[in-house]
C-alpha cells in the first residue's frame, strides 16, 4: 500500500508531462537551448544616424508588429551587417516578412541607407521558434568602396571650397558628374539583364563616363553622405533619384533627367530637376517620377 501511495505522485507528474509536453518542450528549447538574447554588433563606418518617418533605428530586435519589423530590417541593413537575426512575437510576422521581401518594400528600405551598405541580394530564412535569419550580399565590394572614396575625394579637392554653402557644393558636384557622364544608352539597347553592369552603380559615372539612373543616384548619395547632408533615394519600378534635406526643407534632385540623351550626341546639362520641391516635380508631370507617398513620407 505504501509503495502504491508513493507511485501516485509519480503517475500524476507523468500525466501532467504528457498533457503539457508541447509547452514544456517549447519552454526548454526557447529558454535554454535557443535563448532569445540578441547580440547587437557595432555598426560599420557607413551607418547613417538618420531616422525617417517610414523607418528609424532601433535597438530592440524582437518585433511585436510590422512597424517594428521594418525598423529592425532598416537598422540591420543601415548598420552594414552581413548576417543578422531577430525574433518575431506576433501572429502575422511571417506573412509580413513574405510581404516585405516579395514586393517593393525591401527595395524601399534599401533606398534609405548608404549605398555602400545597400544589398544586391538578401536571403531570409525562418524557423518554428520565431527566429528570422538574414544574409546580405552587398552591392559594393571593399575594393569598389576604396576606389570610389579616393575618386570622390579627388573631385572634392578640385571643385569644392570651404567658403561654399551646402547648396553650392551640391550644384558643383551635380555639374561635374553630368559634364563627365553620359546616359548609358548601350546598356538600354543591348544589356538590359546585366545587373552587374557598373552603370547601375557609382562606378559608372566615376570610372566609365556612363551611368543609368542607379549610378547617378548612388554617386550623388555617396557625395551627400560625405558632407553629412541627410538624404535618401526615391524609386519606382522605372526610375530612381535623390531626395535631399537642405536648409530645413526636402528637395528632389535628379541627375539622370538633368543629363538628357540628345539626337546630336551633344552633352547637355540641365537644371530642371535640381533641388526642386515636390510641388514643382509634380507640375513637370514626366510620368517617370511617381512614387508611393505612404513610404516616402517626407516627400508629400
pLDDT tens-place string over residues 69-91: 999 999 999 999 999 999 998 98
Task: Give the integer Cα–Cα distance in Å for 253 and 9.
Answer: 76
The pLDDT of residue 11: 55
| Grid cell at residue 79 | 548598420
The pLDDT of residue 30: 53
Q: How far is CA 216 from CA 144, 177, 181, 185, in A?
A: 16, 8, 9, 14
Query: Which residues touch 169 (CB under 8 Å, ≥6 apart)?
Result: 160, 227
| pLDDT(62) > 70 | yes
Q: What is the DSSP letter of 120?
A: E
Q: How far is CA 181 from CA 36, 204, 216, 257, 269, in A?
A: 50, 8, 9, 12, 10
The CATH fold of domain 62-138: top7, de novo designed protein (3.30.1710)
Helix, strand, coil percent values for the chain (each to nearest 5): 45, 15, 40
Q: Outline where DSSP puts E strands in the chain.
A: 62-63, 83-88, 119-126, 131-138, 182-183, 210-211, 231-235, 240-246, 249-253, 274-276
Q: Are the CB atoms for 70 and 100 separated by under 8 Å?
A: yes
Q: How far is CA 259 from CA 92, 204, 222, in A?
A: 45, 14, 19
Give per-residue pLDDT as tens, 10-56: 556 666 556 766 565 555 445 444 455 666 789 999 999 999 999 99
> What angle (nearest 5°) sits at the alpha carbon of residue 237, between those of residues 70 and 86?
20
Terminal Cα distance for the chain, rounded: 82
Task: Give the integer Cα–Cα distance in Å for 212 and 48.
Answer: 25
The pLDDT of residue 32: 45
Mean pLDDT of 202-230: 98
Stretch among 16-25, 106-115, 251-260, 291-300 having the lowest mean pLDDT: 16-25
The CATH fold of domain 142-299: C8orf32 fold (3.10.620)
Which of 160, 167, 80, 95 lies closest to 132 in space, CA to CA?
95
Work out the number of other CB atoms within 10 angstroms of the CB of residue 25: 11
Mean pLDDT of 213-228: 98
Give 229: exposed, middle or buried? Use CB within 10 Å, 0-12, 13-18, 19+. Answer: middle
User: If you average pLDDT over every residue of the chain, what do you get?
Assistant: 89
The pLDDT of residue 6: 56
Q: Outline where DSSP puts E strands in 193-248.
A: 210-211, 231-235, 240-246
Stretch among 17-26, 120-129, 224-233 having the lowest mean pLDDT: 17-26
| pLDDT(105) > 80 | no
Amino acid at each position: 500500500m505504501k509503495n502504491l501511495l508513493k507511485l501516485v505522485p509519480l503517475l500524476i507528474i507523468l500525466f501532467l508531462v504528457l498533457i503539457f509536453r508541447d509547452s514544456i518542450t517549447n519552454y526548454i528549447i526557447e529558454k535554454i537551448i535557443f535563448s532569445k538574447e540578441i547580440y547587437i554588433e557595432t555598426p560599420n563606418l557607413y551607418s547613417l544616424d538618420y531616422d525617417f518617418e517610414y523607418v528609424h533605428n532601433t535597438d530592440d530586435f524582437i518585433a511585436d508588429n510590422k512597424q517594428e519589423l521594418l525598423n529592425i530590417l532598416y537598422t540591420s541593413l543601415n548598420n552594414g551587417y552581413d548576417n543578422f537575426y531577430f525574433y518575431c512575437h506576433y501572429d502575422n510576422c511571417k506573412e509580413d516578412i513574405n510581404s516585405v521581401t516579395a514586393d517593393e518594400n525591401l527595395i524601399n528600405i534599401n533606398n534609405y541607407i548608404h549605398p555602400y551598405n545597400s544589398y544586391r541580394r538578401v536571403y531570409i530564412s525562418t524557423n518554428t521558434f520565431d527566429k528570422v535569419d538574414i544574409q546580405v550580399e552587398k552591392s559594393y565590394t571593399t575594393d569598389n568602396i576604396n576606389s570610389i572614396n579616393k575618386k570622390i575625394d579627388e573631385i572634392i579637392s578640385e571643385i569644392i571650397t570651404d567658403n561654399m554653402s551646402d547648396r553650392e557644393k551640391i550644384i558643383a558636384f551635380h555639374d561635374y558628374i553630368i559634364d563627365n557622364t553620359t546616359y548609358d544608352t548601350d546598356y538600354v539597347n543591348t544589356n538590359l539583364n546585366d545587373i552587374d553592369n557598373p552603370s547601375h552603380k557609382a562606378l559608372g559615372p566615376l570610372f566609365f563616363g556612363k551611368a543609368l539612373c542607379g549610378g547617378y543616384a548612388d554617386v550623388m548619395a555617396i557625395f551627400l553622405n560625405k558632407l553629412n547632408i541627410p538624404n535618401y533615394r526615391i524609386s519606382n519600378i522605372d526610375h530612381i533619384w535623390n531626395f535631399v534635406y537642405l536648409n530645413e526643407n526636402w528637395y528632389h534632385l535628379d541627375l539622370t533627367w538633368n543629363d538628357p540623351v540628345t539626337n546630336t550626341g551633344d552633352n547637355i546639362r540641365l537644371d530642371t530637376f535640381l533641388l526642386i520641391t515636390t510641388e514643382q516635380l509634380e507640375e513637370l508631370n514626366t510620368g517617370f517620377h511617381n512614387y508611393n507617398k505612404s513610404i516616402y513620407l517626407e516627400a508629400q
